[in-house]
Amino acid sequence: MNNIIIYIETEGGKIADVSLELLTKGRSLAKELSCKLEALLIGNKVENLVDELFLYGAQKVYIAQDARLENYLTLPYSSITIDLFKKEKPQIALFGATSVGRDLAPRVSSALVSGLTADCTSLEIGDHKETKSGKEYKNLLYQIRPAFGGNIIATIINPDCRPQMATVREGVMKKEPLASAVKGSIANIDVTKIVKDEDFIVEIIERHIEERKIDIKGSPVIIAGGFGVGSKENFNLLFELASVLGAEVGASRAAVDAGYAEPARQIGQTGVTVRPKLYIAVGISGQIQHTAGMDQSAMIISINNDPNAPIHQIADYAIVGDLNEIIPRMIKSYKLNSK
Amino acid sequence: MTKKFKIVVLAKQVPDTRNVGKNAMKEDGTVNRAALPAIFNPEDMNALEQALRLKDKFPGSEVLLLTMGPSRAAEIIREGLYRGADGGVLLTDRKFAGADTLATSYALSMAIKKMQPDIIIAGRQAIDGDTAQVGPQVAEKLNLPQVTYAEDITGFEGDKLVIKRRLERGIESVKTPLPAVITVHATAPDCRPRNAKRLMKYKHSRTLTEEQDNEHNSYLPLNSADTLRIPEWGVTDVGGEEIHYGLSGSPTKVKKIENIVFQAKESKRMSSSYEEIDSLMIELISSHTIG
């Protein structure tokens, strides 16, 4: 009772990275709260995934398996989740901020009349004192997220309602297995008792899920362009540098909105979060909605002709100047020096 | 076969957070709303277009906007009317103030119960909060199925809508019975532009509050009998329990708001000269950061 439950998302028989990241974070939260870390796994023939959950620290795994649960469907998946949360009363429930998690979590929070915070970038445990009533709360989950287009960082709490629910984007938290798996337990959920026929009124008639083609997250070096790159043609310079360095090209939301790069390349609050060895930000002003997705990079080089661009403040090396001069010089220097 | 739908489009007036200028924050660290233009939430525009396309395919269907906000949010209804909607309702009441997504969903669901639509269409999320929670929460409160991340309503087969969804790494087509709640993704087609005739017809549409506001009176035509009055609904119009509205109906509280301050870091400033770039590249290669 009153433990932490992580919703485990699967795709193509594999556990989503974001769920393992949440388990990793959940371990430290559970330790701080002296409670257990648990996982909810829904699907068809998914029991073989349990060992991986134990390796990431889940002490108990609730499994709901049924042939009809092969693919995610809002109604049966939410029925199972709501039923479990009502019985187990977790104090915290975390979901990936994916198209599944962002479909499921609000439905569950509405049914339980509990609060939900979307797209958190940080989760901490802390206390709270209500200024009006003077009521004190211990060990609340601080749900920290950018808001207002990323111009402010808000800390959200749910003082009175449980579970405290949050979604977190893939890549925001670190993913770290334990040295050896915990000896966890398994609890099978009797699906037929919970899920009703009317939960299947929405049918999937077609499904095409592709393997991710552009792998920005896995690239150790990223050259990212912003609106300041100026045109789709200028973006070709970034691709040229990327191919020379063996890097991947990323983009800010402004650059994607302007059509300079495809949405799969978007880095930031509403795109992917990356932490490469080297991040070269070209023509990016450095709005928080972008930097939230890259400020954990080991090294940052900013290239911007505006000396006052905020990106320069988080960069290790800030180059003020014209990208059309700078990038060809980088390519030339690399070709000369790398041999 | 003359199928007709009653469609409610949920739309929100939002500050244009995409075009935040240098004066967006006041010196005390609060958001300077006056410096941000209020716009029709972009994905709600995509939602409106999906509704209008259904109306094109099924003539006689009715498209109504539902928006919640202060008096000035009537602008959202007018914008919808200019583009082809048949009417709308402004949900406005001081008791709605301070609502988080759950209390907002409660208010919207109470209004929708009164409107009795076949289809509810909303944008996936609003750009001021980016939460994507209100659509699914409205669906749950109404005990209706939800189809999120919709890109296109592709057909109507045997009393069910066929909807194409845009997911992170692919697409999915689903078939849903009605009524249902659909949330529309930004990759859906853009909304059609304003229609000049409709603009002339509806530009004097006002809520009662706006009519009583002296500033707006001068814009009213002398004979306003044929002008569409935009209805305003408050808590007493939609019913429900007051405890679920506004601040008291909101489980989440904002504990702290921080203006964005970049963490000070030792930045090395460089010029764009070849010599400086060359020495940087040599350093990166020798440290095995690249190469």
Residue A209 in any domain: the answer is no
Residues A40 and A156 in one domain: yes
pLDDT in tens, B93-136: 999 998 999 999 999 999 999 999 999 999 999 988 889 999 99
Cβ neighbors of A325 (< 8 A, separation 6 or more) are B272
Instruction: Examine the domain organization and report whether A239 and A268 are in the same domain.
Output: yes
The C-alpha atoms of residue A64 and residue A190 are separated, in whole angstroms, by: 7
- Binning chain B into helix, strand and coil, the percentages to the nearest 5 are 35, 25, 35
pLDDT value of position B261: 47
Is A13 contained in some domain?
A: yes
Task: Please report the DSSP string for B24-37 in residue order.
Answer: GB-TTSSB-GGGS-
| Domain assignments of chain B as residue spans, ordered by start | 6-249
Segment B140-153 shows an average pLDDT of 97
Average pLDDT of every residue of chain B: 88
Indicate whether A42 and A117 sit together in one domain: yes
Check residue B215 and give its pLDDT: 63
Query: Which domain covers residue A45, as residue numbers?
Result: 4-200
- Number of H-type helices and E-type strands within chain A: 10, 18
Average pLDDT across chain A, whole number? 93
Q: Are residues A177 and A243 in the same domain?
A: no
Chain A CB contacts of B274 below 8 Å = 329, 332-333
Amino acid at B158: G
Angle at A168 between CA A162 and CA A170, to 5 degrees: 155
Residues 6+ apart with CB under 8 A from B164: B150, B151, B152, B153, B154, B171, B172, B173
Closest residue in B to A104 (Cα) is B136
**Can you tell me whether residue B126 is helix, strand or coil?**
coil
pLDDT at B30 over 70: no
A272 in reach of chain B (CB within 8 A): no
Which member of B146, B174, B255 has the closest CB to residue A205?
B174
Question: Each residue of B172-201: pLDDT tens digit?
Answer: 999 999 999 999 998 899 999 999 999 999
Mean pLDDT throughout B68-97? 96
**Which of A249, A238, A317, A254 is closest to A289 using CA atoms?**
A254
ipTM over 0.90: no
* φ/ψ bin of A219: left (φ > 0), alpha (ψ from -120 to 50), beta (otherwise): beta
Nearest CA in chain B to A312: B267
B235-286 pLDDT, tens digit per residue, is: 999 999 999 999 999 999 999 887 754 444 567 888 999 999 999 999 888 7
Strand partners, B157: B160
Examine the domain organization and report whether A191 and A230 are in the same domain.
no
Cβ within 8 Å of residue B109, ≥6 positions away: B138, B141, B142
The amino acid at A89: K
CB within 8 Å: B173 and A207: yes
Q: State residue B212's pLDDT score.
A: 82
| Chain B residues inside the 8 Å CB shell of A301 | 280
Facing B172 at nearest CB: one of A147, A161, A207: A207
Contacting residues for B31 by C-beta, under 8 A, at least 6 apart: A148, A151, A152, B15, B24, B25
What three-state secondary structure class fits B165?
strand
pLDDT for residue B28 is more than 60 = no
Q: Is residue A207 part of a domain?
A: no
Length of chain B: 291
Q: Of all helices (H) and strands (E), which one includes residue A108?
A: helix A101-112
Convert the pLDDT of each residue in A64-98 to its tens digit. 999 999 999 999 999 999 999 999 999 999 999 99
Nearest C-alpha of chain A: how many angstroms from B246?
Answer: 14
Question: What is the pLDDT at residue A245?
Answer: 87
- Tell me if B131 and A287 make a contact (CB, 8 A cut-off): no
> Which B positions 176-235 lie with beta carbon below 8 A of chain A?
176-177, 180, 187
Which bin fits A222, alpha (ψ -120 to 50), beta or left (φ > 0)? Answer: beta
Low-confidence ranges of chain A (pLDDT < 70): 1, 149-151, 211-213, 339
- B53-66 average pLDDT score: 97
pTM of this prediction? 0.81
Q: Which CATH number fits the domain that encloses residue A88?
A: 3.40.50.620
Element (H, E) at B110: helix B101-115
Neighbours of A23 (CB within 10 A): 30
Buried b (16+ CB within 10 A) or exposed e, B250-274: bbbbebeeeebeeeeeebeebebee
Q: What is the pLDDT at residue A53?
A: 98
Task: Please answer yes or no on whether B290 and A334 come within 8 Å at the CB atom.
Answer: yes
A95 contacts in B (CB within 8 Å)? none
The pLDDT of residue B221 is 54
Q: Are B207 and B228 in contact (CB under 8 A)?
A: no
Q: How far is CA A303 from CA A142, A286, A289, B270, in A?
A: 35, 11, 18, 10
Residues composing chain A: 339
Rg of chain B, C-alpha, whole Å: 23
Closest Cα in chain B to A222: B290
Q: Which of residues 39-98 of B touch A (CB under 8 A)?
A: none
pLDDT value of position A166 = 98
Query: Are A50 and A16 in contact, with CB atoms under 8 Å apart?
Result: no
Q: Which of A48, A38, A39, A40 is nearest to A13 (CA)?
A: A48
Other CB atoms within a 10 A radius of the CB of residue A60 amount to 19
Q: What is the pLDDT of residue B260?
A: 59
**C-alpha closest to that of B115 among B240, B6, B205:** B6
What's the pLDDT score for residue A174? 83
**A-B Cβ pairs (cutoff 8 Å, strict):** 245
Q: What is the CATH number of domain B6-249?
A: 3.40.50.620
Evaluate whether residue A74 is within a structural domain.
Answer: yes
Identify whether the C-beta of residue B169 lies closer than 8 Å to the C-beta of residue A99. no
Write the residue in A156, A210, A325 that is nearest to B255 by C-beta: A156
**A203-206: which pairs have CB atoms within 8 A and are 24 or more residues apart?**
A203/B174, A203/B175, A204/A71, A204/A73, A204/B172, A204/B173, A204/B174, A205/B162, A205/B173, A205/B174, A205/B175, A206/B171, A206/B172, A206/B173
Q: A278: buried, middle or exposed (CB in 10 Å: 19+, 13-18, 0-12)?
A: buried
* CB < 8 Å to B258, chain A: 152-155
One domain for residues A43 and A189: yes
Band (B225; pLDDT cuts 50, 70, 90): low
Residues A132 and A256 in one domain: no
Pick the more confident residue, B290 or A259.
Answer: A259
* Residue A210 domain flag: no
- Domain assignment present for residue A293? The answer is yes
| E strand segments, A202-323 | 203-209, 221-225, 248-251, 278-282, 299-304, 317-320
Q: Is A271 in the same domain as A169?
A: no
Say whether both A97 and A234 belong to one domain: no
Q: Which residues pair with B161 in a beta bridge?
A: B156, B176
Q: A125 — phi, psi (to 5°)?
A: -105, 135
C-alpha–C-alpha distance, residues B115 and B120, integer Å: 10
Residue A171: per-residue pLDDT: 76
Looking at residue A150, its pLDDT comes to: 65
The residues facing A267 across adjacent strands are A272
What is the enclosing helix (H) or strand (E) of A60?
Answer: strand A60-65
pLDDT at res. B29: 53
Q: Is residue A278 helix, strand or coil? A: strand
Q: Which strand ranges, in their side-by-side order, compose the sheet holding A248-251?
A: A248-251, A221-225, A278-282, A299-304, A317-320, B268-270
User: A187 and A269 share a domain?
Assistant: no
Residue A335 makes CB contacts below 8 A (sequence gap 6+) with A244
Query: What is the rounded CA–CA span in Å between residue A29 and residue A53?
Result: 16
- Our count of domains for chain A comes to 2
User: Looking at the structure, do residues A26 and A138 belong to the same domain, yes or no?
Assistant: yes
Is the sign of the CA dihedral A227, A230, A236, A237 positive or negative? negative
Q: According to the model, what pLDDT value does residue B130 have? A: 86
Q: Residue A216 falls within a domain, yes or no?
A: no
**Would strands A185-188 and A60-65 be described as parallel, antiparallel, or unpaired?**
parallel
For residue A83, give the H/E element and its range.
Answer: helix A74-88
What is the 3 state secondary structure string of A163-224? Answer: CEEEEECCCCCCCCCCCCCCCCEEEECCHHHHCCHHHHCCEEEEEEECCCCCCCCCCCEEEE
Same domain as A92, residue A59: yes
A128 touches chain B (CB under 8 A): yes
